Homo-oligomer: A and B are copies of this chain.
């Protein structure tokens, strides 16, 4: 699972699949994902927690080589049009932000978005456990994609999740990948220090181990 990208210093103490998770941009365009594996990935989202067990999320299953794939990738942003189509699978993720035609839910669009993020994290980590990598992206024409996929007005598309096998350095098929997409993977992965996201007693008062207020 070792990689120049994960785990990063500070992340070595995490358990798998979190430890080795990262978001590659160079996928094996020959790899095909079995439907049974797609079903397992979707089950990971199904069993994610949500506010009041509302489960507001939904995913359109878009495997490479399908008509839906050809239709969806036409709406990718310029920056995503090169690398996303190589992935074995795209899961297009939406969540219920308004009342359904039957008038039901959601209690809160804010929590619907929060809980979609949670369900997509479960998919991403389940993928890593299966030897796959997932790279979430928001860069696509959401209105056109929603029309293309028949997404109703009470559902907001938020992300696509590109899932597949990472093309390892040295693979001759890297020649198929643009320099920009290869370069994207060389960007150093950086995070805010814990002191900027973990607070003791009061917001923005940095927490550190051994603090006890």
Contact = CB atoms under 8 A, between A and B. Distances in A.
Count the copies: 2
Interface of A is mostly: mixed
B113 A207 contact: no
B149 A202 contact: yes
A44 interface: yes
A47 B61 contact: no
Interface stretch (A7-15, A80-88, A165-173, A174-182): A7-15
Nearest to A156: B110
Contacts of A190: 53
A114 interface: yes
Contacts of A23: 49
A212 B66 contact: yes
B197 A57 contact: yes
